[in-house]
Structure formats: C-alpha cells, structure tokens
Structure 1
Amino acid sequence: MYTLRGISQIFFVSNALSGALIIVGVALFNPLMAALMLLGSLVQSGVGSLHGHKEEVVDGRMGFNGALVGAFAGFAHLPLNLAILATLLGAVACVSVHHLVAKLFASSALSKAALPVSTAPFCLVAGTLEILTLTFFDPAAASSSSQTGSGLLLSLGNSFAEVVLADGWLTGLIIIAALFIGSVQVGVFGLVGVLFADLTASALLHSDISTISTGLQGYSAVLVAIALGAIFWTQQRLTVRFLSAVLASAVTLVIGFLLALTPIPVFTWPFLLTMWLFMLAKMFTDKSAKQPLAHHPAEAL
C-alpha cells in the first residue's frame, strides 16, 4: 500500500487505488517502466523508513521520487541490468538528497516560505544518472498529431503521462481518472494547468498543434496548477488559487523554454522553479503586509 501511495504522490495524491491505476496506465505504455517505478517507490520507502520517516512513508511522500527515478530508467531504455541498478541506487540516493534539500529549506532565510522538497531529489538524481548513462541513453520521441481534434486530445493525455515520462492519450486519461478518484480538486486543477499551458504555448510561443500535442509543454503546468491550486494554498480564496494556477502554468512554459537552451535535463524543473518562485513571492508579500505602516511626523501634531 505504501508503495502504491508513493506512486500516487507524484501528483500530490495519497491513495493506493490511484497509485495502482497510474501503474496500469504506465504499464500500457511500457511494462518495464511500470515495474521500475514500483521498485523505486519500494526502495525509497524502505530506506526512508530506516531513517525514521515513518509518517512520510505511510503517506507515500517518501516513495514518489524513487518511483520517478524508476520511470527515468525505463524512459532512457537502459539495458535491463543497468536500469535495475540505476533505479536501486537512485532511489536510495533520493533519501539523502531529500534530507539535504529539506535542510536548506529549513534555514532561517527560507523557512517562512515553507518550500516543499517535492521532485527536487528526482531531478538532481536523474540528472546525474543521465550523465553517467549517456552512452546507453536512448529515449523514444513523444507522440504527436498535426490534426486539431486528435492533437488536443493527445495533448490532454500526454500532459499527464509525461509527468511520469510516459506517453499516449490512453495512459494520460487513466492517470486523470486516478487523480479524480484520489481528489476531485487535484483532477480539476490538473486540467486547468493543461488548458492554460496549451493556450500560452499557442499565443506566447506560437507553438503549432503538433508540438502542443506532445504534452512536453504541459506536464509541468499540470503539477504547478495542482500544487498551488489544490495542495499548498488551500487557505487562500478559490479565485486567488485559480489565478495563481493559471499564471504559474504560463510561467512553467517560459522556464521550460529557457532550460531547453541549456545542457541541464529539463525533467520537472519548470514546475519546481515556478512553484518555489510563487511561494517565495508570497512569503515576501506576507512579510510586507505584516510590517506596521510608518506614521508621517505631521500626524503627531
């Protein structure tokens, strides 16, 4: 159960059934990737438990980065023995990286922003693994369509599937169903992210339907819309969460575009950097709002 919750927590959901459905969806695309995701979640959960993260393990929050590392190993089409080894070592490393990032965010300068570690361990570990396995690295191209109707449907599915480095409208639709089972709010905000990512890609980046349909411009928007709209800012009014999700979805495209110009593997960095940027901005805004207004000297007369 913990392992499956680790799968569902990739999308901020703690639900074993949702995790099982996500695995089914990924298995339809690539059975080995699905198996490696389960292995990664299991290993990170086990190591996390040994380090005293009982609550996070039970909730699945100490398993999803390992699952994503497993997804990377399957996505990269590494030889089987190397894929298993990369998943095992990467999942173990995710626990240590989690500690380091959490310690950084707990510093006096950042603690008030309450920045979540989220997928940072995956990005850092998988980025390192990509460099180490570059000789074997052979990912498949994302599916696409130049037809408006099928392209938009494919964009919807691929934007969710690409979060776990998978591909295909059916895989994506199964993941969407899994999210709605776990949390209606998560599902709704995920769809908001796709919608506004597609609109921004078309209007701002002048992307054609073939490019949009790959989902590569939408998957980070899915995550950031869920994070700000349904998870971390639930104390805010719905209009604030909705507008934040919309704006953040657009920002992920800009950051993704800039990262693509560098040798840094993009992974979920656009989501992470956008989410952290918005949360830091909120911290400074809240701090300014709490400061007492200075009185004009004339008021004392």
Structure 2
Amino acid sequence: MKLGIIGTGLIVQEFLPELTKLEGLEVKALLSTPRSKEKAERLAAEHGVTAVMTDFEKLASQDIDAVYIAVPNDLHHLYAKKALEAGLHVIVEKPMAATEAQARELAELARKQDRCLLEAVTVSMLPGFEMIRRWLPAIGQVKSVSCSYLQYSRRYDAFRSGEILPAFDPAKAGGALMDLNVYNLHFVLNLFGRPQETRYFATVEQDIDTGGTLILSYPGFQAVCTAAKTCSGPNQCIIAGTWGTITTSQAANTIGSVTLELRNGQRETFEPPRESRVLPEFRRFMKIIDGHRKKEGLEKVEVSLEAARILTETRRQNDIVFPADAD
C-alpha cells in the first residue's frame, strides 16, 4: 500500500517511525500546513519520505493508494471528503468526524466511490482485544463493564491559564469525550453492539468537557466509561460476569495484558507482543484495502457510525456545541 500522510502533529511523529517498519507499506508523501512545512521536511528526511507539500491537490497527484488523516478533529471531514472524491482510500484518526451527519456523509461518499473509509481507533485491532472476544463466553452472563482512561494533559495547564489549544477547543471539536472516551466507547461497541440508551455526565469548563462518565445501557448490565484530561489514575477495562471477570492492564487504546479469572479458581493471563499499537492496526488496514476485504471494511464503518451517533447525541446532552452542528 502506498500511503500519503496528512498532518505533522504528535500522533504522526509517534507513528511514522513505526509505519516505515511495515512490510508492504510505503509512505510516499507528507502534507503539512505552510507553517509546519519545515517540520514536515525534517520528518520526511528522518524517515525516508520522498515528497513534502502544502497543497492537497499535489498530494492527491502522487503515486498513492490511500491517505492517513491526522489533523485536528474539525478537519477530519474536510480532508476525508477531498480524498474520497480524489479516488483514494481513507484512514482517518478518531473520531471519524465532528458530527454524526458528517460521518454519514463520508460513509455514503465512500460507498459511491467504492473506496475504503476506516477510522484509526486501535481498540478492536489489538491482540489483547481478540483474546477478550475469545474469552468472553467463559465469564457467563455479563453483569458489569467499566472502562477508565485518565490522562493528565500537558495542554490543560495552558487551558486553565486561558490558552485554548485544539484538544480543549470546541471550535476544533475537542474535549475528553472525543479524544479519550471515544476509545472506551469503541471497546464497548465492538463487544456488545448498539446500546439501548446512552447518557453522558460531563465536567464542563469553558464550554468544553474536560472529563466525564459515559453510561451505555444494555439488557442486564451497564457499561460505565470514564475519561478525563485533568488527572491521572489507574487505566483499565473490567468485564464482570456470573462466572468470572476479564481485566486489562491498560486503557482501551492499548489494552496491554489481559487476565481471565473464573470463580472456579482458573486464572490465565495473555501477554501481547511488545510492539507499537499502530502496527497491528495498520496491518489490518492493509489487509482490508489491499486484500479487498470489503465486508470487513463495511462492518468497521457501521461501528464508527454508531460511535459518531453516540458522541453527537451525548455531547449535545451537555450543551457542548461544535461549529459543525450548524451544518
């Protein structure tokens, strides 16, 4: 797969060195803003990327099959739409778009263009998640699910002093729900499907949620998803059933090791390979795009659309407004 990357932020700086290790993947070009072009050129030189540009049309004219979009949330829809219209497959960082309406527009465009649209949210592609799926029947009837992702953001100090960076900016579709709790949401949706009811209890500061608890109601149990950008704490997911529990050692975005403990005394721990979380994710993307696994790609889009619906609905429950809501 020949890939163009849109963006030069922290996630690109973390992932680019790993992507260059993947057999069958070639990063051909970086698209940056004019302001970040110098940084993009340094990144490209360090990792063997041959082309850097600031114009999307020039990126689209390169010898690429797909783009990976890693820009602020409010720009996901814009660049995904441009890429699909240019006939490119799209891998877009979570969340897929700022609103459900935008996400559905992209999904319909991908269908018309016969291109893949994939949300880069690592959860369901990690080896630990596959083990959770396998072990889930062993714990009996699920009675409780809890996911916690607490991460003190270095941008929070700036936010408190009045400097509003994209992660805390409603104009950029920021906030803890869209940035952190989205991982917890995908963890639950990929295991249990659409909930009967959803509620979000947000901590709102300066018109944006800096943390909150999302509750997803299912027959017989609640899934409680907590995330905050204002504090640190134990991060893990716990699924409790009538016969036992499944526990992760890390938050939903990485999962880490997974432990099965049953009431009969059986205990087993799965240790995943030590590698960047981006590697299993992009291996799967390559199989979907290069291997023409259209059905799998469409199934992932449906989960992303459900996530977009819940993110939009529960955000609005707390009167958190994005510019895209006016569309």
State the structure with bigger RCO (CA 8 A, min sep 6), 1 or 2.
2
TM-score, normalisation: structure 2: 0.29
Please state which structure has a larger fraction of its residues in strand: 2
TM-score, normalisation: structure 1: 0.31
Please state which structure has a larger fraction of its residues in helix: 1
